[in-house]
């Protein structure tokens, strides 16, 4: 990151935290240059950048001010629902009709599940692929199927170690993306008819998988900043024969909530007490905006109760389909289930990623990626404040590339979805994140793509559709 970008981030942080309120004058160039020990040209560049992001604006002969966007700053949401509900799941059809809408490359991809592929080091990965295939002994294409690429396993285990999670190499099962790992984990600890605790709202694939496996869901409310409601979970565990929990403890999809370390520890203790396994979906782990990676619940796991699922699809190599699970006491069973269904993720893809992790500069790439996503979040938040109707609330995730909007009661997000699509804009309507088709007036918007004039226009169009409800 360049110096002026760093400085711009500091100022953005002051604005986001409220230290600099809407209408406030930002420090003059001379003042800032002296206070922060940076050159005047760095300050200028930073202010241009912030103006570009819509956070500040220049007033003739007066300097820069925090933008009036905050005339109606969007409020944060409350906890998603009041009590746990148990229910059969029936949402797949709806999800597929939304996913179908993403096929047209000319659609503004606010409904997409992925960040822009332009944010990933694909040419560098291609070099790693060539390098890996050149060095691969012939027998590895068969041997690596059952065991997984040994270098990749080591590299993944190392990254766990660095972030304070100790695990045995044997715990790791390499999978076809995190979604296969999550499927296998769930099959490993449930039978048709069983009850599984999930979040409300939840990642829609969670709902589809439960539906496919004929499982019942008990929906646990999620606070948009603090994560799942532990009291409700404790109550459900005490009352109901819950066979497993499937939670995203950091950067929850769609809300963006991240539980505190303390709360994660408490969650673990609760599950440990009931001996209910946790399937921890942590696919956005690398996309935190702060300086410290959030610890997973897995870091507190003493007895292999947590199956921690990760992936390179959102942080490095979309389309390569390489994920994994640190499967705790279930690892061998998970591995066997995999041998019966897909055998293995692609061996060349595994080898390419292993080579990249060793030589490609993953951490440097991640810093750039996080910075891009954070800037784009700023831009979408600012744009939403400009265009969306008063009474709209929004999440403030500390990472990832999704914002969760709660619109005024009159808005029906399934209609919104149809109307927006007719204007070439996709979005993910609230009901696809709910076993009971709740969150009718909510939607998830993706800010994983570079912010452009087209994005801004799309937000304006959405604002007009919203106002018409």
- Interface ranges with a copy of itself (CB under 8 A): 92, 96, 99, 103, 105, 112, 114, 117-118, 120, 122, 125-126, 129-130, 133-134, 136, 138-147, 176-177, 179-180, 183, 187, 192, 205, 208-209, 212, 214, 317-322, 336-337, 339-349, 352
Q: Which residues contact 31 (CB under 8 A, 6 or more apart)?
A: none
CB atoms within 10 A of CB 34: 13
Taking the least distance from each CB to a copy of itself, the nearer of 164 and 319 is 319
Least CB distance to a copy of itself at residue 87 (A) = 18
> Are 68 and 54 contacting, i.e. CB atoms less than 8 angstroms apart?
no
Least CB distance to a copy of itself at residue 330 (A) = 15
Taking the least distance from each CB to a copy of itself, the nearer of 68 and 170 is 170
* Phi, psi of 79, deg, nearest 5: -55, 145
Taking the least distance from each CB to a copy of itself, the nearer of 201 and 448 is 448
> Are 289 and 370 contacting, i.e. CB atoms less than 8 angstroms apart?
yes
| Rounded distance between C-alpha atoms, residue 160 and residue 328, angstroms | 14
> Are 350 and 129 contacting, i.e. CB atoms less than 8 angstroms apart?
no
Taking the least distance from each CB to a copy of itself, the nearer of 187 and 260 is 187
Taking the least distance from each CB to a copy of itself, the nearer of 196 and 381 is 196
Taking the least distance from each CB to a copy of itself, the nearer of 125 and 297 is 125
Taking the least distance from each CB to a copy of itself, the nearer of 183 and 315 is 183
Least CB distance to a copy of itself at residue 337 (A) = 7
Residue 274 CB-density burial (10 A; 0-12 exposed, 13-18 middle, 19+ buried): middle
Least CB distance to a copy of itself at residue 133 (A) = 4
H/E element, 103: none
Pairing status of strand 425-426 against strand 108-109: parallel
> Are 310 and 323 contacting, i.e. CB atoms less than 8 angstroms apart?
yes
| Rounded distance between C-alpha atoms, residue 329 and residue 315, angstroms | 27
> Are 220 and 198 contacting, i.e. CB atoms less than 8 angstroms apart?
yes
Taking the least distance from each CB to a copy of itself, the nearer of 83 and 341 is 341
The alpha-helical segments, DSSP class H, found in 253-346 are: 261-274, 331-341
Least CB distance to a copy of itself at residue 458 (A) = 18
H/E element, 311: strand 306-311
The alpha-helical segments, DSSP class H, found in 53-194 are: 92-100, 122-135, 140-147, 150-162, 177-189
Least CB distance to a copy of itself at residue 154 (A) = 18
| Rounded distance between C-alpha atoms, residue 6 and residue 288, angstroms | 16
Least CB distance to a copy of itself at residue 254 (A) = 18
Least CB distance to a copy of itself at residue 317 (A) = 8
């Amino acid at each position: 990151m360049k110096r002026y970008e760093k400085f711009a981030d500091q100022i953005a942080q002051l604005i986001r935290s409220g230290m600099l309120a809407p209408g406030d004058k930002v420090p003059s160039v001379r003042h800032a240059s002296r206070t922060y020990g940076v050159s005047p040209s760095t300050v200028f560049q930073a202010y241009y950048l912030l103006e570009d992001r819509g956070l500040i604006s220049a007033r003739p002969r007066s300097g820069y001010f925090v933008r009036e966007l905050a005339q109606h700053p969007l409020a944060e949401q409350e906890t998603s629902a009041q009590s746990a509900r148990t229910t059969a799941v029936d949402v797949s059809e709806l999800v597929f009709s939304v996913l179908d809408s993403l096929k047209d490359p000319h659609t503004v991809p606010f409904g997409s599940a992925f960040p822009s592929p332009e944010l990933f080091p694909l040419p560098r990965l291609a070099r790693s692929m060539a390098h890996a295939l050149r060095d691969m002994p012939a027998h590895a294409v068969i041997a690596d199927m059952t065991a997984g690429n040994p270098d990749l396993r080591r590299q993944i285990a190392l990254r766990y170690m660095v972030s304070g999670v100790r695990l045995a190499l044997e715990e790791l099962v390499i999978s076809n993306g995190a979604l296969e790992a999550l499927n296998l984990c769930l099959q490993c600890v449930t039978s048709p008819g069983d009850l599984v605790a999930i979040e409300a709202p939840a990642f829609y694939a969670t709902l589809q998988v439960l539906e496919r496996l004929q499982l019942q869901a008990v929906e646990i409310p999620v606070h948009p900043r603090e994560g799942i409601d532990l009291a409700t979970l404790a109550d459900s565990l005490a009352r109901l024969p819950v066979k497993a929990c499937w939670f995203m403890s950091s950067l929850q999809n769609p809300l963006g909530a991240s539980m505190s370390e303390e709360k994660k520890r408490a969650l673990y203790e609760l599950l440990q007490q009931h001996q209910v396994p946790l399937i921890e979906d942590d696919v956005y782990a690398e996309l935190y905006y702060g300086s410290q990676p959030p610890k997973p619940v897995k870091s507190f796991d003493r007895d292999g109760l947590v199956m921690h699922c990760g992936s390179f699809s959102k942080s490095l190599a979309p389309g390569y389909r390489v994920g994994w699970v640190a499967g705790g006491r279930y690892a061998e069973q998970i591995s066997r289930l995999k041998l019966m269904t897909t055998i293995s993720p692609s061996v060349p893809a595994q080898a390419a990623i292993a080579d990249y992790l060793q030589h490609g500069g993953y951490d440097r790439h991640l810093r750039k990626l996080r910075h891009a996503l954070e800037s784009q979040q700023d831009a979408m938040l600012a744009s939403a404040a400009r265009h969306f109707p008063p009474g709209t609330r929004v999440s403030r995730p500390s990472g990832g590339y999704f914002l969760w909007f709660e619109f005024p009661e009159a808005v029906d997000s399934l209609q919104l979805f149809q109307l927006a699509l007719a204007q070439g804009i996709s979005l993910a309507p609230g009901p696809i994140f709910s076993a009971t088709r709740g969150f009718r007036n909510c939607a998830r918007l993706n800010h994983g793509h570079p912010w452009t004039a087209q994005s801004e226009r799309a937000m304006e169009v959405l604002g007009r559709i919203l106002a018409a409800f």
